[in-house]
């Protein structure tokens, strides 16, 4: 379930994940960040999950046109970029602005993909303001059952 990405793992879970995570360079809570990790408050915020078949990246980037989002994969780096236009006022002239917390302008985020990512099989979809990028994992990296003779 998607909800699992919201979980902050407990200490034991963290320890057991640490080794895997370090070699994956995607980072996790408590583990060293990847070199491309962005400071808190970067736009769009990103959640990353992993299944046996794919790396799932969720970028929370509301209010965009799907065709205005650029998703590129180059040399193992997934990059999400685009631009969010200022709000149209519909001809009304603003008298006073009380809050302007929403991101405006160009944005770009980069995520280092693990070595076993298959950059040839990347799918992206945009729904309810969330961009979901699914990067397949190479066959060889998937868990295999070995028959015992």
Residues that bind another protein (CB under 8 A): 1-9, 21, 24, 26-29, 40-42, 44-54, 56, 58, 60-64, 87, 89, 92-103, 126-130, 132
How many angstroms separate the CA atoms of 52 and 139, rounded? 10
- For residue 19, the 8-state DSSP code is H
Structure tokens at 130: 């969330």
Measured between alpha carbons, how far apart are the two ends of the chain, in Å? 36
How many angstroms separate the CA atoms of 50 and 134, rounded? 9
Nearest approach, Cβ of residue 110 and another protein (Å): 13
Nearest approach, Cβ of residue 24 and another protein (Å): 7
User: Between residues 63 and 148, which has the closer beta carbon with respect to another protein?
Assistant: 63
User: Between residues 123 and 148, which has the closer beta carbon with respect to another protein?
Assistant: 123
Nearest approach, Cβ of residue 135 and another protein (Å): 12
In the chain, how long is the greatest CA-to-CA distance?
79
């Amino acid at each position: 379930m998607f909800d699992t990405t919201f979980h902050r793992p407990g200490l034991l879970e963290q320890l057991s994940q640490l080794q895997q995570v370090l070699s994956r360079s995607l980072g996790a809570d408590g583990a060293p960040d990847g070199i491309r990790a962005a400071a808190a408050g970067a736009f769009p915020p990103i959640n990353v999950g992993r299944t046996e078949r794919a790396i799932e990246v969720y970028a929370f980037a509301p209010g965009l046109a799907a065709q205005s989002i650029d998703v590129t994969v180059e040399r193992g780096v997934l990059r999400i970029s685009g631009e969010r236009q200022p709000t149209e006022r519909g001809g009304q002239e603003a008298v006073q602005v009380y809050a302007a917390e929403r991101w405006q302008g160009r944005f770009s985020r980069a995520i280092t993909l693990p070595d076993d990512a298959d950059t040839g099989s990347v799918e992206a979809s945009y729904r309810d303001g969330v961009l979901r990028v699914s990067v397949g994992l190479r066959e060889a990296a998937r868990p295999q059952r070995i028959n015992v003779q």
